[in-house]
Structure 1
Amino acid sequence: MMLAHFRAPLVAMALVLAAAANQGAVAADVTGTPSPIYGVTIPKGYRQWQMVAPAEEAAPLDELRVVLGNPLAIKAIESATQPFPDGTVLVKLAYRKKQSDDFAPATVPGEPTTVQVMVKDSRRYASTGGWGFGRFINGVPADAAQHQTCFACHAALVKDRDYVFTRYAR
């Protein structure tokens, strides 16, 4: 009975990870255009990074998300190192949720919505807790107005965790 309770969420998360590895609609590896304000770009090869955690965003966004971390991020997370060391990079991939055509109880990734990037550089981003932010839609940086909200939200809600929302999923 307990296994049946977890089956649908596990299937959905497996599908999110598969989509993250194979989704071509977000042209993330081809952009070199930096985000406004912070100058963050999408790092090459990020789709081969280890998963930090999956997430589900409720309405109004209704998204499935997965956060990936570069090797430095994973090492810091596994050892509970905070603040995160300079060079840490976290990437969040977001997809619209949809019901599976193959398994009705499952929610699966639909269209990709954004690639979001956090880069730790305590000198460059001293005024924002050491973090630079990038939000990309179809590989193109979102406008400056959207980037202005990044740090304010992180500072208000997770300052005590070095401004990082995601917790490691073991």
Structure 2
Amino acid sequence: MKLFRFGSPIIAALMVLVAGANQAAVAADATPAASPIYGVTIPEGYREWQMIAPAAEAAPLDELRVVLGNPVAIKAIKDATLPFPDGTILVKLAYKKKHSDDFEPATVPGAPTTVQIMVKDSRKYASTGGWGFGRFINGMPADLAQHQTCFACHAARVKDRDYVFTRYAP
């Protein structure tokens, strides 16, 4: 009986330590990975956002893409508001093109390639037109070199549209 009384607090303490370690591990796994340079993460619930526009990319990418927007983005793009207001978030989902197994002439999404994100915060990202960028492959940020090209490409082609390529598809 003494062993049981002596052992109980030790077992209880071990159980608390194990539970705490498990919670810490779960919390660490739940922390979203941030993009280099900008610190952008994949927004929670983005798959429930409205579609702004679909797109298809020719070779060499050969992708199907769709751009989604949070409610701030949807309102701004529908109202043609430029510059986009702070809080705007655009998410581009990209997939390899493939022919449908059910209907050969149809093209359907194949394997996912990237999730690309733009976040508008005019103070935080003042040096890049107010936008922070994130590019993710399999849920993890792409390398630094890929993030370094984001703003340069947008600035060279769509600076007059607040650095946004996407146009609303009604």
1:78 aligns with 2:78: yes
Larger Rg: 2
Q: Which runs of 5+ in 1 are unaligned?
A: 1-29
CA distance in 1 between counterparts of 2:159 and 2:84 reads: 12
How far off is 1:144 after superposition? 0.6
Q: Scaled by the length of structure 1, what TM-score is found? A: 0.82
- Deviations, residues 42-74 of structure 1 (Å, cap 9, x unaligned): 000000000000000000000000000000000
Greater relative contact order, per chain length (Cα 8 Å cut-off, separation 6+): 1
Change (3 A) 1:31 1:111: farther
- The AA in structure 2 aligned to 1:84 is F
Aligned residue for 1:119? 119
Q: CA RMSD in A?
A: 0.8
> What corresponds to 1:43 in structure 2?
43
The sequence identity of aligned pairs, in percent, is 84
**Offset, 1:33:** 0.8
Query: Could you tell me how far apart the structure 2 residues matched to 1:119 and 1:31 are?
Result: 18
- Contact map agreement 1:86 1:120 (CA 8 A) in 2: yes
Output the amino acid matched with 1:53: A
The 1-side partners of 2:119 and 2:159 are apart by 16
- Alignment partner of 1:143 is 2:155: no
Supply the AA of the counterpart residue of 2:97: K
User: For residues 162 and 81 of structure 2, what CA distance do their matches in structure 1 show?
Assistant: 10
Q: 5+ residue gaps in structure 2?
A: 1-29
Which residue of the partner structure matches residue 89 of structure 2?
89
1:82 Cα deviation from its structure 2 partner: 0.4
Deviation at 1:31, TM superposition (A): 6.1
Deviations 1:111-161 (A, max 9, x none): 000000000000000000000000000000001110000000000000000
| Residue equivalent to 1:8 | none
User: 2: CA distance between counterparts of 1:78 and 1:151?
Assistant: 24
Q: Secondary structure at the match of 1:96?
A: strand
Instruction: Name segments (4+ residues, structure 1) moved above 3 Å.
Output: none
In the alignment, what sits opposite 2:98? 98
